[in-house]
């Protein structure tokens, strides 16, 4: 019974999200919502490897950046429209995931070592992108604004809003599938105890690599979306450490290993940021408020905001 109620709530929120742009004419609010969805989507990609499989990456941006470059270069240099390019971006992200996953999991890197190696890979890719010709080097690449579905560009904020909403819905569907599939159960088993998982017949190496490839593919698509919306790409943007941090932050705040954690975390953090910006005059102070709220959540809600909801509803009293 309780499950069906939360299903209704979810459907209601989805319908609300779909009709919202009809009510909101202000592009600013739609843009904020678009960024919230975009970050939630990236958070979900991090969540699959970090939240479900328990492998914390600190360089999630490497898939995003590689995907962004892949579809952008295909478009600007070879004239292949991004609606096809996005699939190349997904593939490119997944391949980077395969390489990084194999290189690190094959040798049993875990915990902070894995986190650091992903950070190193992301930095390496940034430096490569900075020094080779076809990425435009440090100058970057300017994209043309030619709104059409083929180019995944839209005249107004509404189009990008719906695209980001679609992405976040897909990411949630992936997480829901994980929660009820064998693959998801195996990832969780790996997170909880790798040796026991291996003993029970789970191919730990293969499962981890698959998880990082899913993360990579999702990240790649996000790269295409970003480039088509903001029309400029250079190495510090494509491989920004800040974005790596943001995707893990929204997930940790919302609740790791939960379907809605990244979305909830993204909402809360962005709204806190926006409100703090409006209420507090001096620019630095809003960051302090942001940091303070982060500390509170991490200190008192180890299971994230979703954990708080679950605790209140007494579903898993812990």
Partner 1 sequence: MALLLDVKSISKSFGGLKAVSDASLSVDEGKIVSLIGPNGAGKTTLFAIISGFLGADSGSVFLNNENITGMKPHRICDKGMVRTFQITQPFASLSTLENIMVGAYKNTSLKAKAKQKATEVAELVGMTHLLNTEANSLTVAGRKRLELARALATDPKLLLLDEVMAGLNPSEIDEIVNIIKIIRDSGVTIFLIEHVMKAVVNLSDYSYVLNDGVLIAHGTPKQIANDPLVIEAYLGQGAAKAMTKNTPTKAKASKTSKKGGKS
The residues of the shown chain that bind partner 1, judged by CB under 8 A, are 180-182, 185-186, 188-189, 192-193, 195-204, 316, 318
Contacts of 299 (CB under 8 A, 6+ apart): none
Of 278 and 318, nearer to partner 1 (C-beta) is: 318
CA dist., res. 20 & res. 14, Å (int) = 10
Q: Residue 214 corresponds to which tokens in the numbers above? A: 């899913």
Distance CA 194, CA 186 (A): 10
Query: CB of 309: closest distance to partner 1 in angstroms?
Result: 17
Cβ neighbors of 26 (< 8 A, separation 6 or more) are none
Q: How far is the CB of 182 from partner 1 (least distance, A)?
A: 5
Residue closer to partner 1, measured from CB, 119 or 190: 190
Residue 207 C-beta: closest distance to partner 1, Å: 10
Q: How far is the CB of 301 from partner 1 (least distance, A)?
A: 16
Q: Which is nearer to partner 1, 196 or 288 (CB)?
A: 196
Report the 10 Å Cβ neighbour count for 193. Answer: 12
Pick 79 or 201: Cβ nearer partner 1? 201
Evaluate the CA torsion angle 8, 159, 248, 264 in order and state its sign.
Answer: negative
Min CB(218)–partner 1 separation in Å = 23
Considering beta carbons, is residue 197 or 250 the nearer one to partner 1? 197
Q: How far is the CB of 259 from partner 1 (least distance, A)?
A: 16
Nearer to partner 1, 70 or 202 (CB): 202
> Quick one: 147 or 302, whose CB is closer to partner 1?
302
Contact 239, 123 (CB under 8 A): yes
Residue 302 C-beta: closest distance to partner 1, Å: 11
Say how far apart CA 247 and CA 49 lie, in whole Å: 12
Distance CA 95, CA 105 (A): 15
Q: Please identify which residue in the block is written with the tokens 């954990």.
A: 307
- In the complex, the smallest distance separating the C-beta of residue 191 from partner 1, rounded to whole angstroms, is 8
Q: H helices of the chain, where? A: 2-23, 27-47, 61-78, 82-105, 111-131, 157-180, 182-192, 194-199, 204-230, 235-238, 241-254, 261-279, 283-300, 304-313
Contact (Cβ atoms closer than 8 angstroms) between residue 34 and residue 28? no
Query: Which of 252, 245, 298 lies closest to 58, judged by CA?
Result: 245
Q: Which is nearer to partner 1, 44 or 303 (CB)?
A: 303
């Amino acid at each position: 019974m309780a499950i069906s109620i939360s299903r209704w709530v979810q459907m209601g929120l989805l319908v609300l999200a779909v009709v919202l742009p009809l009510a909101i004419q202000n592009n600013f609010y739609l843009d904020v919502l678009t960024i919230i969805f975009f970050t939630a989507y990236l958070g979900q990609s991090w969540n699959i490897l970090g939240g479900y499989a328990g492998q914390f990456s600190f360089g999630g941006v490497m898939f995003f950046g590689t995907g962004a470059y892949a579809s952008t270069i295909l478009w600007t240099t070879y004239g292949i429209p991004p609606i096809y390019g996005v699939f190349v971006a997904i593939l490119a992200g997944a391949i980077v995931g395969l390489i990084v996953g194999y290189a690190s999991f094959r040798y049993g890197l875990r915990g902070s070592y894995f986190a650091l190696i992903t950070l190193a890979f992301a930095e390496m890719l940034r430096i490569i992108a900075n020094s080779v010709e076809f990425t435009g080097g440090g100058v970057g690449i300017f994209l043309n604004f030619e709104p059409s579905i083929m180019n995944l560009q839209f005249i107004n904020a509404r189009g990008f809003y719906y695209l980001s909403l679609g992405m976040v819905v897909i990411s949630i569907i992936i997480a829901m599938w994980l929660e009820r599939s064998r693959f998801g159960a195996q990832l969780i088993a790996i997170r909880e105890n790798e040796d026991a998982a291996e003993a029970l017949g789970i191919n730990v190496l293969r499962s981890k690599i698959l998880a990082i490839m899913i993360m990579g593919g999702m990240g790649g698509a996000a790269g295409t979306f970003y480039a088509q919306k903001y029309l400029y790409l250079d190495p510090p943007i494509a491989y920004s450490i800040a974005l790596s941090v943001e995707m893990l932050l929204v997930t940790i705040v919302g609740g790791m290993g939960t379907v809605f954690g990244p979305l909830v975390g993204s909402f809360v953090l962005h709204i806190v940021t926006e409100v703090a910006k409006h209420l507090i005059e001096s620019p630095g102070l809003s960051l302090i408020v942001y940091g303070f709220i982060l500390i509170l959540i991490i200190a008192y809600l180890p299971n994230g905001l979703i954990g708080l909801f679950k605790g209140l509803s007494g579903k898993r009293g812990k």
